[in-house]
Amino acid sequence: MIAVARGAGVVLDPAQLLRVQRTADFLAEQVRKQEPLYGVSTGFGSNADRLLGAHRLRGDQGAQTSLHEELQENLITTHAVCIGEPFAEDVVRAMLVIRINTLMKGHSGVRASTLEAYAAMLNAGIVPVVPKLGSVGASGDLAPLSHLAIVLLGQGEAFFRGERLPGGEALKRAGLEPIRLSYKEGLALNNGTAQMLATAVLCAERLEKLVDLADRCAAMTIEAFAGRRRAFDAHVHALRPHPGQVASAAKLQALLEDSTLADIAYHLVPKALPWRPSSWPNAELAALRFDIGWDWVPADQRHGRERFYERFKPFRGGKKHQPQDSYSLRCVPQVHGAVRDALAQLQRVIDVELNAVTDNPLVFPDLVGARFVEDQVVSAGHFHGMPIALAMSYVKAAIPVLASISERRLNKLLDPATNDGLPAFLIGNEDGTESGLMIVQYTAAAIVNDLASRAHPATVYSVPTSANAEDHVSMGANEGRHVLDMSADLGKVLALELMTAAQALDFRRDMIEAARRLAREADLATFAAKVGKAPPDPHPQRPQFLAECEALRAELAAAAAFRPGSGVAALHADFRRQVAFLGTDRALDGDVAAAVRFVEDWLAA
């Protein structure tokens, strides 16, 4: 279906078309017998008790159509009343192929020739103009589906080769002819869940990629924090095996595999200090935009933690001496995984709905044991959109959750109180004139708030229609439209996290690499000058301090270059081809736009 939404054509199975025609012929025979059938020989909705007569009450008046044909055509022309901006081409094409697939099941009563006309319109590239507002999602998506069908009648409007045209003109330019509707065909064409389902399918495809990208963004943020990965171990998640949670944990482990930044020893990670002209011993290091440092932990402050200092050297740098990261890092599998599970529920419903018959009444021409026509033409409620609407409500609540935890990670990277020794707002700011990425968080916060404000489920507020004949509706069309739009804004938040995480990762790696280089190239006195809270010379603890500084220097000097996991490194490299490191303040509008384009390209790939 996605391929057709993006431009592929369709081919109708000839054998199935025979079944379609069999049902249409059965309906025609029942009309000949003057059987009272809803939507065929009666009116619709609150007019269901109005039987069509053999003659017009006001005479023929030159009418070229029968009352049965007029009923079906009027249904389409009077129901095409949506307003607002038109849906994008991929949504409308998805609606068309969903409707064709539903009608091909052979339980709707349309003629094979009508389905062939629909397929021809789709394959010709005619895209009906379907305004976004007008469906309550319960007698099907009546109004938007009428905008699809009205073009078949040579009316309405359509896009053809980039031009917005009257429907009849679009058909003419494509070499197609308008059609006349027969028994129940208008009702079959506009009674179903195709709009809400189309938006759900396209949203599900987008969200599947966005959840994957969210895992990748989180992994890069974890690397920028030199964070801890044990919370993602498979044996841990086996104790609470929600499928999405297990999948996200495994994804993080794969992305962080072979990292030497994650789980790095506390004492090897320096903290950022403001750059000064005297910060570095040579011009090459002095070109850095930061200084680095540690604080020494005197022996008399290690009581009760002797075991800890047997393993870690007594220096406090950028990485906090604690066994766990904050929730926005440690609980990524639980949060991202819950979103995955919400999406899986939507996909389960989509799989059923894509292969369902969703109009009314349903026709069973070959039903064994049928005694009355009512057994074979059954009025039911498959047009009611609540199954898919509620699944989308679930996802609708999940979208701001995923955006929110992303924004919290972004904020944590920028805040010097929480970013584990990175520069404030991820900029050198030696002269106090730079804001760095400060306001990027404002934009993310604004989007998160907007998403949260839009997350109220449309499904909980039914507004009855059709003189209360349709007294409970799903509002699934609104839900689908909201969710599709919200997923686009979720991508913007992830783009901002990615932009921030890439900057933070560069700083973290550059800071540790600067420490390694200083350890290899500088003498002990120069290296020890980077350590605060040192005992003065002379002082009884001075020899111990220098010995422990030498041990830290030796370990750093002997260490290989620190690097993120290969999955994170690949994402970082791809992103850096679009957005450069922020060395000093510059106009960021272009960077933000490039980050958003990066995510859009990711979704399109």
Task: Please state the rounded mean pLDDT for residues 490-507.
Answer: 98
Categorize the per-residue pLDDT at 464 as very low, low, confident or very high, splitting at 50, 70 and 90.
confident
Task: Please state the rounded mean pLDDT for residues 56-80.
Answer: 75
- Reduced DSSP (H G I as helix, E B as strand, rest coil) percent helix, strand, coil of the chain, to 5: 55, 5, 40
Categorize the per-residue pLDDT at 228 as very low, low, confident or very high, splitting at 50, 70 and 90.
very high
Residue 89 has pLDDT above 80, yes or no: yes
Task: Please state the rounded mean pLDDT for residues 471-482.
Answer: 90
- State pLDDT tens for residues 280-328: 998 889 999 999 999 999 998 999 898 999 899 999 999 988 889 999 9
- State pLDDT tens for residues 414-463: 999 999 999 999 999 999 999 999 999 999 999 999 999 999 998 998 88
Q: What is the pLDDT of residue 175?
A: 98
Q: Where in the chain is the domain with CATH 1.20.200.10?
A: 204-345+389-604
CA 261 – CA 560 distance, rounded (Å): 11
Q: What is the pLDDT of residue 64?
A: 62
CA 396 – CA 452 distance, rounded (Å): 9
What b-and-e string marks burial along 67-100, b requiring 16 or more CB atoms within 10 Å of the CB? bbbbbbbbbbbebbebeeebbeebbbbbbbbbbb
Sign of the alpha-carbon dihedral angle for 510, 515, 517, 521: positive
CA distances from 460 to 135, 276, 397, 455 (A): 15, 60, 13, 12
- State pLDDT tens for residues 374-428: 888 888 889 999 999 999 999 999 999 999 999 999 999 999 999 999 999 999 9
Q: What is the pLDDT of residue 41?
A: 72
Residue with tokens 């403001």: 274
Percent of the chain with pLDDT over 90: 80
Q: Do 135 and 41 meet the contact criterion of CB atoms below 8 Å apart?
A: no
CATH (residue range 2-192): 1.10.275.10
Q: What is the pLDDT of residue 127?
A: 98
Q: What is the pLDDT of residue 379?
A: 86
Q: What is the pLDDT of residue 31?
A: 82
Assigned token pair, 134: 């007008």
Residue 45 has pLDDT above 70, yes or no: no
Count of beta carbons in the 10 Å neighbourhood of residue 294: 26
Task: Please state the rounded mean pLDDT for residues 172-182.
Answer: 96
Q: Do 515 and 499 meet the contact criterion of CB atoms below 8 Å apart?
A: no
Categorize the per-residue pLDDT at 62 as very low, low, confident or very high, splitting at 50, 70 and 90.
low
Mean pLDDT, the chain, whole residue set? 93
Residue 44 has pLDDT above 80, yes or no: no
Percent of the chain with pLDDT over 70: 96
Q: What is the pLDDT of residue 47?
A: 67
For the whole model, what pTM was predicted?
Answer: 0.93
Residue with tokens 């009314």: 360
Q: Which positions are annotated as active-site residues?
A: 38
User: DSSP states of 296-365 as a string?
Assistant: E--GGG-TT-HHHHHHS-SEE-SS-S-S---HHHHTHHHHHHHHHHHHHHHHHHHHHHHTS--SSSEE-T
CATH topology of domain 204-345+389-604: Fumarase C; Chain A, domain 2 (1.20.200)
Which amino acid is located at 154 in the chain?
G
Q: What is the pLDDT of residue 229?
A: 95
Q: Where in the chain is the domain with CATH 1.10.275.10?
A: 2-192
Categorize the per-residue pLDDT at 72 as very low, low, confident or very high, splitting at 50, 70 and 90.
confident
